[in-house]
Structure 1
Amino acid sequence: MITGKNYIGSQLIASGSKTYKTINPQLNIENPWTFTEATPQEIDQAVTLANNAFKIYRNCSDHQKAAFLNTIAEEILTLGDELLDVYCTESGFPKGRAEGERGRTIFQLRSFANMLTEGSWLEATIDTAIPNRSPLPKDDLRKMLVPLGPVVVFGSSNFPFAFSTAGGDTVSALAAGCTVIVKSHSMHIGTGEMVASAVIKAAQKHKMPEGIFSNLIGSGVTLGTSLVKHPLVKAVGFTGSINGGRALFDLASQRPEPIPVFAEMGSINPVVILPGALEKNSQKWATAYAGSITLGTGQFCTNPGLLLGIKGENLNQFIRQLAEEIEKIQPSCMLHPSIKADFNNGREKIRAQNGVTTVAEFKGEIAPNYASQTILTVDGETFLENPTLRHEVFGPFSIIVQCDNNEELETIINKLDGQLTGTIIGEPMELNNYKMIVDALQNRVGRLIFNGVPTGVEVCASMIHGGPYPASSDSRFTAVGIHAVKRWVRPFSYQNWPDELLPEALQDNNPLNIYRTINDIITNKTI
């Protein structure tokens, strides 16, 4: 089922000469498939098709779009175990992870379909005319959200399903009424092609316009630059490194017509461990965080890479317990030899800094692309003075900062870059005594967790997966949950427009039976 070609709309095309292979990280060998990079002509063809398709797709009803998304889910499931096998071969993840991530992807598709069917996501707002208002009459104004246009989505390395070809960025853009061009991630191109085939089949079943979706192969720099700079592209979704996301953001800003880049980037997800929690049950938290740090070989964007506590015997005991627990865990495979190399380099760069001590590291024999989980520690003053210690190490790694007092802890939090998550481990009654710490952490993150671990991102309407820069390029938006759709739309008003020519969401008789704000009252009644 894998051809190694680009999906330019529904056509499989490979006229270029540059080719790639993916790696099986478990076996440390190349996979058998050969993939051909999209040529400049193919890139332009895909974007032009997407632009033409947008003119039609933007006018599809929400019920039509919902049916399309549900069929994508069905087509992905139809691919069965063969898709899971390719996923595992290209990622090194076990089959259980593949099944879980596929389930999350299917749930995302269904969630956006349900959102479309319910309809209030359009934020339809109506202020009816008052022609006899004095001293000036009031016009009739009606507002709703409308799609931006063709969207480019960059697949992520660590979620071959949920943040890639038919993942959260793609499905939220399609739900918004945008067409999508995916830049397939080079580490799992075969997985991407199979998922793309499911999207294309669903589009054909619903007679969607040719070019509603394309899936392109190529290096991050060459293909990515061409897509972001293309004048017909109107927005970009990205999940990956700070360097990669910032490069795309800068490119988009320098265009004659700047466009938004919604990039989810780096995060070390600070965890503040209060004394009361350690005094009550430090072993519980040591076990929980050993599991969280090593979950998925630490290759989650919410991996807890920074633990903060107040010096003392309770913290010392926690450090010993965490070291014991994490060294018991068998290492697992990383996504790619290059990711393993980056993990080693990042860890050793931090370990080489003055004042840093290793408190735990798996010391047994490991396979080539497996990672030795590592815990380091440093005092608060040294951490404050050395920005290198705040860099993300993507993998099973965390650094424990031992602070002299609450004031130093608060200073450290205030100096951190923006993060996806922050966590407080403590007793409920302690929070009143650490309000400044809680407020400081809230100011640096998109999601604040109490007595839990940051790994695990629930797909629901209340989830915020984003945060102040560089966790994301725009902290007002989430990359997870139905509100991710708001990245791909803009508000639009009609003034004194004939009722029969308005979109159904704004017509007087409310044919969609959706909830709207009419003269400041939320209702589903007619006008």
Structure 2
Amino acid sequence: MISGNMLIGQSAVRGEDGVLSAINPATRETIGPDFGAGGIAEIEQACLLAEQACDSYRETTAQQRAQFLEAIASGILALGSTLIERAALESGLPIGRLLMERGRTVSQLRLFAKVVRDGHYLGVTLDSALPARIPARADLRLRKIALGPVAVFGASNFPLAFSVAGGDSAAALAAGCPIVVKAHEAHLGTSELVGRVIQRAVADHQLPEGVFSLLMGDGNLFGQALVSHPAIKAVAFTGSRQGGMALIRTAAQRPEPIPVYAEMSCINPVFLLPHALSMRAGEIGRGFVEAMTMSAGQMCTQPGLVIAVEGQHLDKFCSTALDALGKKTAQTLLTPGIHQAYLEGIEWMGNSEGVTTLGRGCTAESPCAAQATLFATQASSFLRTGRLGDEIFGPSSLIVACKNEDEMLEVAQYLSGQLTATLHLDDADHALARKLLPILERKAGRIVTNGYPNHVEVSHAMVHGGPFPASSDSRSSAVGAGAIDRFLRPVCYQDLPAALMPEALQDGNPSGLWRTLDGTCVSA
């Protein structure tokens, strides 16, 4: 079923700009078949088809688009073990984790099918004409339309949920945007399998072939060339800060700058408030180690920082965490490159002034396995050494011991933008929590209480974004129903004749949408 070809519209195209190979990170062995790398010609072909598809695809009905998304979801499930086994080979992730990720991928597609049918995302607003008013007011009607073709970059750490048919793709397709996906080099075969499902769904629903293309290219220059193409109107990216910033610069330097929605690096701080720590230090310590090592620490919501007031209760937290950590088996990281970066990161952290290596998990025995590591430092050292707040992608975390609550607040103020911030608290901690919350609201997109941030629910209220460098645009979310807003823009129609009026804006509301009419929300 895997050919090693790119999928450009309804064609399978063999790239001739080099050869790409998938690698099993557990063994570092190459997995066949080889994939032909694309170049500028393939980018041009895919983007031209996307541009040609744009106007007709964005005007498909809600039912057409919803059924298309649901067909992709069903097609992914129909791949069965073929998809899961290939993803496991290419990522080193366990089967159980990938089954859950497939479920999330399907849930995202079905959520956006519902969002499209509901129609709320259109933001339909009508201001009636006021001809007798001085000055008179024209008839004004607003709806949101698709931005245009979107370049989607597959992520290394989620071969399904943030990849070819992942959240970015689902949101863009729901908005009415054709997508050109760049497959991540770490899971080429997985990407082709899912890409063929989307390609088939495009054909089955008689959509323009340019609604979807899947490209495979070697290196950063290929991705930057895709972002530079004038047909592309927005970019969705999940990955490193270095990679995200390169795309942001490229997009900003175009003759027509475009938005880049990049989810990048963060350390997701966990604050242990004093009373909760005094009552539940052991319980919190065990739970923290589970969160820190989940999926080998390769989740964008992995808690990489703990902040607490020093003393016997923090000591108990540390001893319990170290006991749990010592039993943790080393897990395979996604790629040899990620493994090497992890080794360099923990070596740097362990040699940093004022940092102590508290303990490690079980010794790594396979080529890309990572030994979980826990570090500790004083707040004064953390505040003095900026790099201690940088992400180490993998199963490690840093405990910051504060002298008092004021120093805890100072550390909170010092933090950069985060996807999440977590508070472990009891009722007796509410006074301190009230001081922390306004700070954390400025720092993070999601605030978690008495839990851990790893799980990101696919829902209407979820926010998976945050201030820089967690994401490039803190006003948006990469997960949840609100993710569709990234790929829409408002258009106002002034005194447009009824015969030309889009259905969502027509008198009588034939689509049955909730609309804002002269400031009042109505459904008729």
Same fold (TM over 0.5): yes
Aligned partner of 1:451: which letter?
Answer: N
Whole-angstrom distance in 2 between the partners of 1:446 and 1:292: 19
Residue in 2 aligned with 1:517?
A: 516
Alpha-carbon separation, structure 2, partners of 1:411 and 1:239: 30
Q: Distance in 1 between matches of 2:307 and 2:232?
A: 43
Alignment match, 1:249: 248
Give the corresponding residue for 1:349.
348
Q: Where do 1:10-409 residues align within 5 Å?
A: 10-133=10-133, 135-409=134-408
1:500–1:507 contact (8 Å) kept in structure 2: no
TM-score by length of 1: 0.98
1:450 equivalent in structure 2: 449
Instruction: Tell me: CA distance 1:222–1:340, structure 2 relative to 1, closer, same or farther (3 Å).
Output: same
- Which stretch has the larger CA shift, 259-268 or 498-507? 498-507
Partners of 1:117 and 1:73 in 2: CA distance: 16
- Aligned pairs (5 A) from 1:481-492: 481-492=480-491
> Identity of aligned pairs, percent?
42
8 Å contact 2:330–2:363 — kept in the other structure?
A: no
Secondary structure of 1:328 counterpart:
coil
1:15 Cα offset (Å)? 4.2
Given that 2:330 and 2:362 are in contact with CA atoms closer than 8 Å, whether structure 1 keeps it comes out as: no
Q: 1:392-437 deviations in whole A, cap 9, x for unaligned? A: 0000000000011122111111111100000011103312234222
Structure 2 counterpart of 1:39, which letter? Answer: G
Structure 2 counterpart SS, 1:101: helix
Q: Between Structure 1 and Structure 2, how many residues are aligned? A: 524
User: CA-atom RMSD, angstroms?
Assistant: 1.0
CA distance in structure 1 between the aligned counterparts of 2:418 and 2:407, rounded to whole angstroms: 19
- Unaligned 5+ residue runs, structure 1? none
Sort the Cα spacing of 1:244 and 1:139 in 2 relative to 1 into closer, same or farther, 3 A. same
Report deviation, 1:365: 4.8
Does the 8 Å CA contact 2:24/2:31 hold for their aligned counterparts?
yes
Deviation at 1:136, TM superposition (A): 1.7
Aligned counterparts of 1:365 and 1:496: Cα–Cα separation in 2: 69
Aligned partners of 1:293 and 1:364: how far apart in 2? 17
Q: Any conservation in 2 of the 1:183–1:223 contact (CA below 8 Å)? A: no
Secondary structure of 1:448's counterpart equals strand
Cα distance between partner residues in 2 of 1:149 and 1:363 = 49
CA contact (8 A) 2:72 2:197 kept: yes
**C-alpha distance in 2 between matches for 1:203 and 1:128:** 39
The one-letter amino acid paired with 2:370 is A
SS in 1 for 2:186: coil
Aligned residue identity for 1:381: S
The letter for the 2-side match of 1:204 is A
The CA distance in 2 between the partners of 1:484 and 1:15, in whole Å, is 32
Counterpart residue type for residue 119 of structure 2: G
Q: What is the alpha-carbon distance in structure 1 between the residues aligned to residue 129 and residue 137 of structure 2?
A: 5
Tell me the amino acid that sits aligned with residue 453 of structure 2: P
The change in CA–CA distance for 1:242 and 1:365 in structure 2 (over 3 A counts) is closer
Q: 1:377 to 1:494 in 2, by over 3 A?
A: same
Q: Match of 1:505?
A: 504
Task: Give 3-state SS (helix, strand or coil) of 1:32's partner.
Answer: strand
Q: What aligned pairs does 1:416-495 form with structure 2 within 5 A after superposition?
A: 416-495=415-494
Give 1:461's aligned amino acid.
Answer: H
Work out the CA distance in 1 between the residues paired with 2:274 and 2:117.
48
After TM superposition, the score normalised by the length of structure 2 is 0.99
CA distance in 1, matches of 2:257, 2:446: 29
- Asked whether the 8 Å contact 1:48–1:232 carries over to 2, the reply is yes
Q: Is the 8 A contact 2:328 2:362 kept in 1?
A: no
Q: Deviations over 1:365-384 (max 9, x none)?
A: 52111110000000010110
Distance 1:370 1:283 in 2: 28
